[in-house]
Structure 1
Amino acid sequence: MNTILFFGDSLTAGYGLGDAGNESYPALIQQKIKKENLNYRIVNAGISGDTTAGGLNRIDYWLSQPVDIFILELGINDIMRGIPPQRTAENLQAIISKVKTKHPQVKMALMGMEIPLLMQAGFADQFIAMYRQLAAANQMAFVPFFLKDVAGIRRLNIPDRIHPTAEGYKIIADNVWPVLRGLLV
């Protein structure tokens, strides 16, 4: 059986869901895989509050097992902590490089994020562009805005207005699936 490793923060972990094991977007992707009788198992390596530095520190553990497809969703917590986009990009590239070194045949996808353009001049633009540049440089499948059609919509987010509800995660899974499906053989 092939392994898909979802590596990210609370948005991957399914923070705030009553049953994150069944309602997170990796779990919803597993349901889609099962429906199509594809030979893949999902590993959810999402950790709430994780930054790209934290991800870099813990990636080796996850690479000790077989990984056929690697889905990377990190970076929004860096921005919330004021870490410059350049440092975030360096950490993401280091994670990507480690994955490629350990599993040279791995297929990869990057989940992009966006932040309000009202932030410091150029900061939001740098942050958004960082994901496109990383995806292109590493020939990764790419979802430009992971929270598309969910961010800012009250009914699709838990009361913190940051993390999606189960309904929000269904939209995310539907948005991510076509990109991920293209990586499955």
Structure 2
Amino acid sequence: MKSVWKVLKFSYFLWLLFVLGCGDSTSKDKTPPAEAETSVDEPSDSTAEKGTILCFGDSLTAGMGLDPDDAYPAVLQQIIDSLSLNYSVVNAGLSGETTASGRNRLNWVLNQKTDVFILELGANDGLRGINLSETRKNLQEIINMVRKKNPDSRIILAGMQIPPNMGSVYTSEFQGIFPDLAKENDAHLIPFLLKDVGGVPELNQADGIHPTKEGHKILARNVWEVLGPVLLSSDNQ
């Protein structure tokens, strides 16, 4: 019966993605303050026993330029709720975050128990040409801190790529950081968070960097391809 339940859940998820993809793409984006840290709905007493999925990242997670309800963590919550999975998604994204600043604020974020930790950082490091060894070191320290605070937390690392402005060697080595760390730490990997969105003008805002509302739906799909099996396998244990 467990396998049948999994199939039914994935079938429903595919239907949901179709519905989300057909949403109104003509509505204008709302712009909140750029540096605000946002979160999905505050948990109520009725959701106190839910597991927590913490999305820790930069403006891509925060949903810069959009209403927080349109950022990919909120879309993930919609998918999770539709499948009656007992998890709450917390958006701990902060615009402008680098791996160093993320490491420095992590202890405060980890005050809550975290069942799944989605780590989406590094893009700002790459765009600024920060030394790759520093980026790798900071990401590893973040993973270590999560494991120390929540040993049972499942970690999902969001892979990132950057334009070739810094040269082919830097660009290639930057991209390799994420699969290397995922393998070394037995973490799950989203190969490229911005797959099917990065470089697509109609799916990005005027700056060409931050996804639109429709772009965030695709980001949620990219995350769910990895997160979904993690949650469903836990739900049926």
TM-score range, shorter chain: over 0.9
Higher mean C-alpha displacement, 111-120 vs 71-80: 111-120
CA distance in 2, matches of 1:121, 1:38: 43
Q: 2:212 aligned with 1:168, yes or no?
A: no
Q: 2:135 aligned with 1:135, yes or no?
A: no
1:57 to 104, 120, 140: 104
CA distance in 2, matches of 1:66, 1:108: 13
CA distance in 2, matches of 1:61, 1:118: 34
Per the TM alignment, residue 174 of structure 1 is displaced from its structure 2 partner at its CA by 1.0
Per the TM alignment, residue 119 of structure 1 is displaced from its structure 2 partner at its CA by 3.0
Amino acid at match of 1:134: L
How do 1:78-157 and structure 2 match up within 5 A? 78-117=125-164, 119-157=166-204
Superposition CA RMSD, Å: 0.9
Q: 2:96 aligned with 1:25, yes or no?
A: no
CA distance in 2, matches of 1:70, 1:95: 10
- Residues 99-139 of structure 1 deviation map (CA, whole Å, 9 limit, x = unaligned): 00110000010000012345324101110000010011111
1:68 to 115, 119, 123: 115
1:15 to 48, 51, 64: 64
CA distance in 2, matches of 1:65, 1:154: 38
Aligned-partner SS, 1:41: strand
Aligned-partner SS, 2:160: coil
Q: 2:55 aligned with 1:6, yes or no?
A: yes
Which runs of no fewer than 5 residues in structure 2 stay unpaired? Answer: 1-49
Higher helix share: 2
Q: How many positions carry a matched residue from both structures?
A: 183
Percent identical? 51
Aligned-partner SS, 2:100: helix
TM-score by length of 1: 0.96
Retained in 1: the 8 A contact 2:205–2:212? yes
Which runs of no fewer than 5 residues in structure 1 stay unpaired? Answer: none
In structure 1, the residue matched to 2:40 is: none
Bigger relative contact order (CA 8 A; separation at least 6): 1
- Residues 19-49 of structure 1 deviation map (CA, whole Å, 9 limit, x = unaligned): 12x1100000000000000000011100000
Question: Which has the larger Rg?
Answer: 2
Retained in 1: the 8 A contact 2:99–2:121? yes
Amino acid at match of 2:142: I
Q: 2:39 aligned with 1:39, yes or no?
A: no
Higher mean C-alpha displacement, 172-181 vs 45-54: 172-181
